[in-house]
Amino acid sequence: MSLPIAEITGSIQGAFGCLAAAIGVGLVGTKAVEAVGRNPGASGKILVQSIIGMALAEAVAFYSLFLGK
């Protein structure tokens, strides 16, 4: 029999991890748009770097959901 408080804390941990990932992806996207606005010629390089940054930020969500149990 599992305790309800253990399930609640696990959900809170996953929620905070997903929240951190969402904030990270938002910051990466914002800075990528600013960078393309400053230098449109480098949009290809900026796109690659921003996709890598977003993937690393999303890894936080997976760690919090799967490794926190």
pLDDT digits 0-9 by tens, 1-27: 556 666 666 678 888 889 999 999 999
Q: What is the mean pLDDT of residues 34-63?
A: 93
Share of residues in the chain with pLDDT > 70 (%) = 83
Domain that holds residue 35: 24-69
Encode burial over 40-50: b for 16+ CB neighbours within 10 A, e otherwise: eeeeeebeeeb
pLDDT of amino acid 52: 95
Query: Does the residue 17 lie in any domain?
Result: no
pLDDT of amino acid 42: 96
Contact 50, 28 (CB under 8 A): yes
Query: Does the residue 11 lie in any domain?
Result: no
Using the predicted structure, report yes or no on whether residue 31 has a pLDDT greater than 90.
Answer: yes
Question: Model's pTM, two decimal places?
Answer: 0.76
Query: Does the residue 10 lie in any domain?
Result: no
Query: What is the count of structural domains for the chain?
Result: 1
Query: Does the residue 1 lie in any domain?
Result: no
Residue whose pair of structure tokens reads 């290809």 in the numeric block? 44
Contact 4, 12 (CB under 8 A): no
The letter for the amino acid at 23 is I
Query: Does the residue 52 lie in any domain?
Result: yes
